[in-house]
């Protein structure tokens, strides 16, 4: 049984940060390596803290059998921020004009490997985007047939730029008109 809850930045306390770092480490690193553990710690103490201060920050966390099993978050992307400015130079001008600036920037959806394939990412996604005030959302991920591409393509996201960042594609989702 999995439940998904939205969190405010104030709810990101020490216990929750530890649980999120654990999911990050299991998904992106190797627990045996000090470098991976440092990377996961850096994610919660630096990256996530910085992002949580941005306007439009929204985070959802899934709990399965009493343990944090995944998370997803984003914020309002604006010109002047690193990714929006980088995107403005990397993507075709018509895409930048239409999509970049005041979009919802979906930074990541991550599920602990031991809980994958059970629809948890789908639940996190739907909780994260439902009722967003922005009229567009953007993210970058590999457009292969893996779980991430399946997750997003199946939920209305379209590839805007196939290779915007190495093998990663820029995906966009039109939000206006979606039910709240
Ligand atoms: C991508 C990720 C979040 C998916 O989590 P999950 O809980 O296993 O995904 P779900 O069970 O909700 O499945 C989502 C979709 O992917 C499909 N899928 C799941 N595992 C898959 C796999 N190994 N290969 C291909 N498709 C797969 C599912 O069938 C589902 O498709 P559907 O909506 O058409 O039914 C997870 O693999 C992960 O954390 N990856 C590392 C982080 C990452 O890459 N995040 C996305 C970048 S923004």
pLDDT in tens, 89-135: 999 999 999 999 999 999 999 999 999 999 999 999 999 999 999 99
Q: Where are the beta strands (DSSP E) in the chain?
A: 2-7, 58-64, 67-77, 103-111, 136-141, 158-165, 168-174
Residue 85 within a domain: yes
Residue with token string 């909780």: 127
Residue with token string 């997003």: 152
Q: Does the beta carbon of 147 sit less than 6 angstroms from any atom of ligand 1?
A: yes
CA distance 61 to 77: 21
Phi and psi torsions of 174, nearest 5° = -80, 125
Q: Does the beta carbon of 114 sit less than 6 angstroms from any atom of ligand 1?
A: no
| Minimum mean pLDDT range among 45-49, 86-90, 150-154, 173-177 | 173-177
Long-range contacts of 88-96 (CB under 8 A, 24+ apart): 90/161, 90/164, 90/165, 91/160, 91/161, 91/164, 91/170, 92/161, 95/160, 95/161, 95/170
CA distance 158 to 174: 9
Residue 163 within a domain: yes
Residue with token string 């379209």: 158
Q: Using the predicted structure, report yes or no on whether residue 147 has a pLDDT greater than 70.
A: yes
CATH number of the domain that residue 46 is part of: 3.40.630.30
Tell me the whole-structure pTM to 2 decimals.
Answer: 0.96
Residue 40 within a domain: yes
Task: Specify the number of domains making up the chain.
Answer: 1
Residue nearest to atom 48 of ligand 1 (CA): 108
Q: Looking at the CA of residue 122, tell me the nearest atom of ligand 1.
A: 12
CA distance 11 to 15: 10
How far away, in angstroms, is 80 Cα from ligand 1 center?
32
How far away, in angstroms, is 93 Cα from ligand 1 center?
31
Q: Using the predicted structure, report yes or no on whether residue 180 has a pLDDT greater than 70.
A: no
Q: Does the beta carbon of 119 sit less than 6 angstroms from any atom of ligand 1?
A: yes
CA distance 141 to 107: 10
Residue 180 within a domain: no
Residue 45 within a domain: yes
Residue 179 within a domain: no
Residue 24 within a domain: yes
Q: Looking at the CA of residue 106, tell me the nearest atom of ligand 1.
A: 48
Q: Which domain holds residue 148?
A: 2-174
Q: Does the beta carbon of 27 sit less than 6 angstroms from any atom of ligand 1?
A: yes
């Amino acid at each position: 049984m999995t439940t998904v809850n939205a969190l405010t930045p104030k709810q990101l306390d020490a216990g929750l940060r530890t649980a999120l770092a654990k999911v990050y480490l299991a998904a992106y690193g190797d627990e045996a390596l000090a470098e991976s553990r440092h990377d996961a710690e850096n994610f919660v103490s630096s990256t996530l803290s910085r992002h949580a201060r941005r306007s439009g920050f929204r985070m959802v966390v899934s709990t399965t059998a009493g343990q944090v099993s995944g998370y997803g978050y984003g914020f309002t992307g604006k010109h002047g921020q690193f990714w929006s400015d980088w995107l403005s130079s990397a993507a075709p001008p018509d895409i930048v004009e239409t999509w970049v600036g005041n979009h919802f920037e979906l930074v990541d959806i991550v599920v602990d490997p031991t809980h994958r394939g059970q629809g948890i990412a789908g639940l996190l996604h739907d909780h994260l985007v439902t009722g967003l005030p922005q009229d567009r959302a953007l993210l970058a991920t590999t457009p292969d047939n893996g779980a991430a591409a399946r997750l997003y393509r199946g939920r209305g996201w379209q590839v805007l730029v196939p290779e915007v960042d190495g093998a990663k594609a820029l995906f966009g989702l039109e939000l206006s008109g979606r039910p709240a």
